[in-house]
Amino acid sequence: MDMTEKIIGLALFEDACLGDITTDSIFTEPQEKTAVIVAKQDFILAGTDVAKKVFHTVDPALECTIHFNDSDTIKRDDVIFTVTGDIRSLLTAERVALNFLQRLSGIATLTRKFVSALDNPDVRLVDTRKTTPGWRKIEKDAVRAGGGFNHRFALYDGILIKDNHISAAGSIEAAVSRVRARASHLMKIEVEVSDMVQVQQALDARADVIMLDNMDIDAMTKAVALIGKRAVVEASGNVSLQTLNAIAGTGVDVISCGALTHQAVSVDLSMRIQMD
């Protein structure tokens, strides 16, 4: 079972672990119906595969037709899904399937707003690990659906020496030296810095990527000039639609933005049973 299957299983257990008392009381026998999932606003679509898995986890016999692809622009009143099968299965799966679609489409929609606002094709917008516990893979998929890029997925697939590492190790030099002694030569070493002194220390330690954390625009501009293409430069902290292009204008290569996931608002969808 992969992570997506696990979170779907947990979500269905949370919602219907002892059954659906309302549906099971009304419909005691199988009854075939068709339901459609309809957009109630404009948004960018994400999470279709997850929603489909919800329906098939509840009932593998349900027939699902997805009318759009992830990353498509959806308009109000568009029919996104058509699902046919036992009414009991449709109603039991409804809320969990909608929850995934609404949340993930919200992330894709917010990401698209940032990507559209970013007026610099040379700067890459990436997400962070500030994701809903257990949902990281599907939320990062949603960021890509919105046109953004992914930072490291987890602690195991990218080296990022942060302030607490530096403090505990005693210095940037010590932290980088210890990492370099153990890490694969194929992995880049990123160091988080907060002032010009640390920028120079990261350069002296030959960091591959330098993250400018919560620096103001003037400081970032000076840091980029000092680094002078000797490392990839990432900006992090205080990133919003209002600050995005000012940050990009400093010359950084990457802007990481936790808001893409932790500030996204779910879109509005509904599932409607079709009348015979």
List active site positions: 95, 130, 162, 192, 213
DSSP letters, 117-152, are H---TTSEEE--S---TT-HHHHHHHHHHTT-B---
Rounded to 10 deg, the angle between the 196-204 and 172-182 helix axes is 30
Consecutive H or E run containing 91: helix 87-117
For 260, the 3-state DSSP assignment is helix
Q: How many CA atoms lie within 13 A of 153 on its CB side?
A: 10
Q: What angle do CA 177, 181, 184 make, to 5 degrees?
A: 120
Sign of the CA dihedral running 9, 14, 18, 24? negative
